[in-house]
Amino acid sequence: MIIDSQLLDNLTIEARRSPRLRMNYDLRNSSSDKSQRMMNALEPGTEIPVHRHTQSSETVVVIRGSIRQNFYDDDGFLTESVIYRAGDPVSICVVPVNTWHNSESLEPGTIIFEAKDGAYEPLGASDILVVK
């Protein structure tokens, strides 16, 4: 697969048209692939709940635009917030397993790459945190 500007532009257009203001693009070889690899177009205003992954860390690379990666303690208090921008000396983040986090899109046209171990499983209620 060749990832080019047209693919990224189209993904951004789809995200802007989506009520959720985000759209992902599956990069796995097949639906039976037991990993999670995707690009995710995130427009400002998209709401990503504070959540955790109990079985895997999560790798996030900013391809276009910028995000704020937020980290929380078990009580829902913000403990750290880091901005990552495409093209900066560091535009990659590894979220440790079982760490409460979310991402905020800081500019239109933001696209990230995400990777996690294991097959996709929707987040359960115990994996979403109400922040304070």
How open is the CA angle 89-94-96, to the nearest 5 degrees?
155
For residues 38 and 107, give the distance between their C-alpha atoms in angstroms, rounded to a whole number: 20
What was the pLDDT predicted at 3?
A: 95
Where is 63: in which H helix or E strand? strand 58-64
Q: What is the pLDDT of residues 93-106, one digit of tens each?
A: 999 999 999 999 99
Q: Higher-confidence residue: 123 or 58?
A: 58
Please identify which residue in the block is written with the tokens 């039976």. 32
- Kindly calculate the radius of gyration of the chain based on its CA atoms and give it in whole angstroms: 14
pTM across the whole model: 0.93
For residues 103 and 50, give the distance between their C-alpha atoms in angstroms, rounded to a whole number: 8
Sequence ranges of the domains in the chain: 5-129
Q: What is the pLDDT of residues 32-81, one digit of tens each?
A: 888 999 999 999 999 999 999 999 999 999 999 999 999 999 999 999 99
Q: Is the pLDDT of residue 30 over 90?
A: no
CATH number of 5-129: 2.60.120.10
